[in-house]
């Protein structure tokens, strides 16, 4: 452990510094290098991530793939930065880590079967989207729990969002913003044609969701789990992976909960 200049103890001994390939992130990386004796991510117990939300998601997915999950503290050098903290080139990272608050989030696990029968398992931190591959609308059967809830959803697509991802693609598709501790998922249609009045559902996150593609030869559908895409989907099964929690670090007063609340009062 190291002491910050404000006297607080930084709980992390080995820190990794990661940056996206944008010029701003690279400049910040060079400026922060002299602050610490950084270690490779494989040896670290905390990751300092410079970039935007996309790079943070990429970093968290790399942790999941590697099987070693450590806390991540992001500094926004991208566009929105919903998962990030404010970047300040004058700040000392040890001070910020010493004061940071932790928030655990659980990803969605997608078990997908493609039309050739191949099975795939992917995780999504924000959302899983099913999207039509051609100009033909998709037709999807929606099962929640043990019951078929919609026999035929005709749409451009449908997505399932976590609370952490509810202000991303889900919000753009007119889905609800979910409080981080709500223990629910948003099931949101994308440009629904039939049932025309159906606007989606809010579901307990303990429930399993199954989406089966109807008429796949004429109406092929792709599945996207955050940044990873599978094409020619037959069906996907979705549930929260409670046993695989990720940890994000935020500055005081800049928690993910506050950002989710604040997003609902934005007036343009």
**What does the pLDDT average to over 81-110?**
91
| 148-176 exposure pattern, b = at least 16 Cβ within 10 A, e = fewer | eebeebbbebbbbbbbbbbbbbbbebebb
- 62: domain CATH number is 3.40.50.10330
Residues at the binding site are: 53-54, 126-127, 156, 164, 167-172
pLDDT tens-digit readout, 223-255: 999 989 999 999 999 999 988 899 999 998 776
**What does the pLDDT average to over 189-218?**
95
Looking at 53, 88, 116, 215, which residue is catalytic? 53
Decide if pLDDT at 5 tops 70.
no
On whether residue 268 sits in a domain, the answer given is: no
- 232: domain CATH number is 2.60.200.30
Range in 27-31, 64-68, 187-191 with the lowest mean pLDDT? 64-68
Q: Residue 180: its pLDDT value, please? A: 82
One domain, residues 233 and 196: yes
One domain, residues 133 and 189: yes
**What does the pLDDT average to over 31-43?**
94
One domain, residues 118 and 61: no
Is there a catalytic annotation at residue 53? yes
Q: Judge contact between 236 and 112, C-beta under 8 A.
A: yes
Percent of residues in the chain assigned helix, strand, coil, to nearest 5: 20, 40, 40
One domain, residues 233 and 192: yes
Q: Residue 2: its pLDDT value, please? A: 43
Domain range for 139: 108-240
CA distances from 60 to 42, 69, 76, 124 (A): 13, 8, 15, 10
Residues at the binding site for NAD(+) are: 53-54, 126-127, 156, 164, 167-172
pLDDT tens-digit readout, 157-178: 999 999 989 989 999 999 999 9
One domain, residues 87 and 146: no
State the Cα–Cα distance between residues 160 and 130, nearest whole angstrom: 9
Residue from 228, 12, 10, 233 nearest 108 by CA: 228
Three-state secondary structure call for residue 171: helix
> Which residues have a Cβ under 8 Å from the Cβ of 39 and sit 6 or more positions away?
14, 15, 16
């Amino acid at each position: 452990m190291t002491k910050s200049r404000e006297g607080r103890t930084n709980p992390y001994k080995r820190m990794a510094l990661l940056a996206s390939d944008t010029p701003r992130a690279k400049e910040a990386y060079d400026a922060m290098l002299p602050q610490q004796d950084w270690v490779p991510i494989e040896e670290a117990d905390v990751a300092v991530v410079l970039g935007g939300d996309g790079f943070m998601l990429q970093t968290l997915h790399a942790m999941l793939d590697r099987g070693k999950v450590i806390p991540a503290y992001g500094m926004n050098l991208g566009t929105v930065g919903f998962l990030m903290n404010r970047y300040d080139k004058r700040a000392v990272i040890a001070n910020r880590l010493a004061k940071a608050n932790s928030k655990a989030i659980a990803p969605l696990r997608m078990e997908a079967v493609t039309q050739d029968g191949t099975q795939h398992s992917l995780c999504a931190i924000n959302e899983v989207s099913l999207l039509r591959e051609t100009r033909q609308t998709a037709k999807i059967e929606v099962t929640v729990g043990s019951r078929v809830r919609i026999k035929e959803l005709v749409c451009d697509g449908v997505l399932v969002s976590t609370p952490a991802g509810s202000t991303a693609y889900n919000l753009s598709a007119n889905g609800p913003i979910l409080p981080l501790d709500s223990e629910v998922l948003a099931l949101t249609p994308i440009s629904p044609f039939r049932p025309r009045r159906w606007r989606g559902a809010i579901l307990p996150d303990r429930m399993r969701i199954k989406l089966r593609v109807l008429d796949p030869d004429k109406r092929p559908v792709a599945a996207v789990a955050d940044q990873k895409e599978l094409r020619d989907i037959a069906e996907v099964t979705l549930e929260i992976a409670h046993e695989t929690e990720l940890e994000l670090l935020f500055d005081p007063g800049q928690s993910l909960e506050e950002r989710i609340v604040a997003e609902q009062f934005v007036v343009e």
